[in-house]
Chains A and B, each alone.
Chain A
Amino acid sequence: MIDVKNLYKNYYPNDSGKFAGIGKPGIKKNESVLSEDTGISFNVSEAELFGLIGPDGAGKTTIFRILTTLILPDKGIATLGGLDVVNDYKEIRKKVGYMPGRFSLYQDLTVLENLEFFATVFNTTIKENYDLIKDIYVQIEPFKNRRAGKLSGGMKQKLALCCALIHKPEILFLDEPTTGVDPVSRKEFWGMLQKLKTQGITILVSTPYMDEAALCDRIALIQNGNFLNIDTPENIVKQFNRDLWSVKSNQMHHLLTDLRTFDSIDSSFAFGDSIHFTVKHKKDFSKSEFESLLLAGGHNKVEIRKINPGIEDCFMELSKKTDL
């Protein structure tokens, strides 16, 4: 449904030597870097929920704007259902739903007025596609006469989703729909996306929250305008081909500084209530030896276990390997 090949965009003029955009030629540190100087490529199948996962400034919004025909790429080709984003932009605009970051709603219009307005903009009515938005709309209907500016983050998010869905788009683009929204609304939102997927809508969604990656069918990890990896969340985790350990003690901050002094340890980062670390050479590391070292160093209640990595571990590991 979405087909992207060698997409490249630099907001600076090409001769300035500066880069901001997507597809920047990366310096390859090992084989895991996907793009060299060929821009970014990926594809999304029909009714797939595809996630772009990465921090601010990684290039997520640029990809969205190119695909929604709002800006032109410098190089590369992108098609949506066979339609070219540059030449067939008028056709594409009839088929896509777009929810930009910051929930672009009219703050001084009411919930109902916003929805009615966007319905007519897309040449349809609320009635016509009510089935599609019904589950979401009933949650905000009690506030339909309230101005959008007076809604909470979670309510705005639901309204913006309704507005983007009102014309029954084939492809839905959601740029950071969960940023700044409370955890409860975030959970509910992902539930709604799963339902939309079953209705055959292709969804491209971006998020800076790594824990949301597992809810997508496939994800692209993105940083500094380039993909670190594209795959299903399960496969990305599988590709983390090193041992990952978790350690806790009664003095967590000291533990982190102590770990940094061990030669055998490669990386160590705080993860919630524990520290995740990897070792340089598997054979040189013994759990019991390490534990006794820590105890001798004054730590108590030491807990060391081998764990399965999460997407965030993978992201950090991959981003260390590239120098983008």
Chain B
Amino acid sequence: MKQLLSFIRKEFNHILRDKPTIMILLLMPVIQILLFGFALSTEVKNTNVVILVPKADNEIRHIIDRVNASDYFDIVGFVHNADEIENAFRRGDAKLAMIFENNFSENLKRNGKAHIQLIADASDANTAKTFTFYATSIINSSQKDFSLQNNANGMILPEIKMLYNPQMKSAFNFVPGVLGMIMMLICAMMTSVSIVREKEMGTMEILLVSPMHPIYIILSKITPYLLLSLVNFGTVILLSVFVLHVPIVGSFFSLLMISVLFIFVALSMGLFISTVTNSQLIALLISGMGMMLPATLLSGMIYPIENMPVLLQILSDLVPARWYIIAVKDIMIKGLSFSDVLHEALVLTAMAIFFITISLKKFKVRLE
């Protein structure tokens, strides 16, 4: 145990004394989140809205007031038919149209159910997804106002319709995507490089010619990067919640669980890389090209997997980040529970077990 602790302390010394690298590792998530989030957070403010109301009454006015009161929306006018909505979109006067159904208030009072259609200009998919999300939450919360007032079980059903880009696939992916990318980078790349560096420096020779169990070498190499990844996980979550206002709808604990699982997959991949190469450069290339690129391109973070050719879709099944991103979206955005992402968790567990097993098998007690 003492051996292990002293080994871990040494690893921390290496990492903390390499100031430029640690700065890059800690600042990277901040920069990425801000870069990805910058466009989103400014565009969403003051989105222009047109409204189509058959007949204004108290309920409708209440909802319109709440929409107007929010920072996210400016109501720029009322329209009378679908053509006018389309014209407003074409001219760029509005990005969102809210259409109240005929007899909205009556339906709400009588049937406890009423419909609002939200039509969004989704040519900029990211923002469209975000502002419809905000609009929906405003509608949902105003529905509670009515329930309180009338003591009835009223329910307003927003129907969302995306114009121009109905699939909306690239939106809202970046927080899970950045998490996946950064953890892959820190765990896989840094772990493999730090083990291979000992081989290059010749210190691995001394460690091997010592009575120390090789598992200690592995454990002490992954511990600091596990912690570093958790710090970065915290940074990304804090930034996305408080700066980008991306809420964590599901449970934070589930999110943490699935993230730790993913970190283990990434660490085991780094370990695996270090067993197949003796050069830091090759380790960097494998983890950079072989792990980072798939983690960004094939994970669904940038390009929707459904739109990929079948071959790439099959390949994307092999990319751990893909499963992680799905799970994070389910928990963080959709608010599902851990049991709903069991499938993804199992895939990740299998991957971790696979890589750890072959790494341990391949980890040599000798130099060749």
- Direct A–B contact in the complex, CB atoms closer than 8 angstroms: yes
A residues bordering B, Cβ < 8 Å? 65, 68-72, 89-90, 93-94, 96, 98, 100-102, 104-109, 113, 116-118, 120-123, 163-164
Question: Could you mark each residue 9-36 of chain B with 1 if its beta carbon is under 8 Å from any beta carbon of chain A, else 0?
Answer: 0100110011000000000000000000
Residue of B nearest to A86 (CB): B366
* A102 close to B202 (CB less than 8 A): yes
Residue of B nearest to A114 (CB): B10
State how many angstroms separate the Cβ of A305 from the closest Cβ of chain B: 46
List which B137-186 residues lie within 8 A (CB) of chain A.
none
Query: With A100-B205, A100-B206 given, is the CB distance from A72 to B368 under 8 Å?
Result: yes
Residue of A nearest to B368 (CB): A71
Query: With A71-B366, A108-B17, A113-B10 given, is the CB distance from A122 to B211 under 8 Å?
Result: yes
Q: Is B203 among interface residues, defined by CB-CB distance under 8 A?
A: yes
* A96 close to B209 (CB less than 8 A): yes
Other-chain contact of B366, A69, A101, A107 (Cβ < 8 Å): A69
Other-chain contact of A122, B7, B210, B367 (Cβ < 8 Å): B210
Tell me the dominant secondary structure on chain B's binding face: helix
* B366 close to A106 (CB less than 8 A): no
Chain B residues with CB below 8 A from A164, complex form: 206
State how many angstroms separate the Cβ of B42 from the closest Cβ of chain A: 43
User: In the assembly, what is the distance between CA of A295 and CA of B58, in Å?
Assistant: 128
Q: Is B208 among interface residues, defined by CB-CB distance under 8 A?
A: yes
Q: Is B212 among interface residues, defined by CB-CB distance under 8 A?
A: yes
* B367 close to A65 (CB less than 8 A): yes
State how many angstroms separate the Cβ of A58 from the closest Cβ of chain B: 19
User: In the assembly, what is the distance between CA of A193 and CA of B126, in Å?
Assistant: 71
* B13 close to A104 (CB less than 8 A): no
* B14 close to A108 (CB less than 8 A): yes
* A93 close to B201 (CB less than 8 A): no
Residue of B nearest to A117 (CB): B10
Question: Could you mark each residue 205-239 of chain B with 1 if its beta carbon is under 8 Å from any beta carbon of chain A, else 0?
Answer: 11111111000000000000000000000000000
State how many angstroms separate the Cβ of A67 from the closest Cβ of chain B: 10
State how many angstroms separate the Cβ of A170 from the closest Cβ of chain B: 13
* B10 close to A109 (CB less than 8 A): yes
Q: Is B3 among interface residues, defined by CB-CB distance under 8 A?
A: yes
Apart from the given pairs A113-B13, A117-B6, A123-B211, 15 other A-B contacts in the complex at a CB distance below 8 Å:
A69-B209, A70-B366, A70-B367, A71-B368, A98-B206, A102-B202, A104-B201, A104-B205, A106-B14, A106-B203, A108-B17, A109-B13, A120-B7, A122-B211, A123-B3
* B211 close to A90 (CB less than 8 A): yes
* B367 close to A71 (CB less than 8 A): yes
Query: With A70-B366, A70-B367, A120-B2 given, is the CB distance from A106 to B206 under 8 Å?
Result: no
Query: With A65-B367, A94-B211, A120-B3 given, is the CB distance from A70 to B205 under 8 Å?
Result: yes
User: In the assembly, what is the distance between CA of A102 and CA of B202, in Å?
Assistant: 8
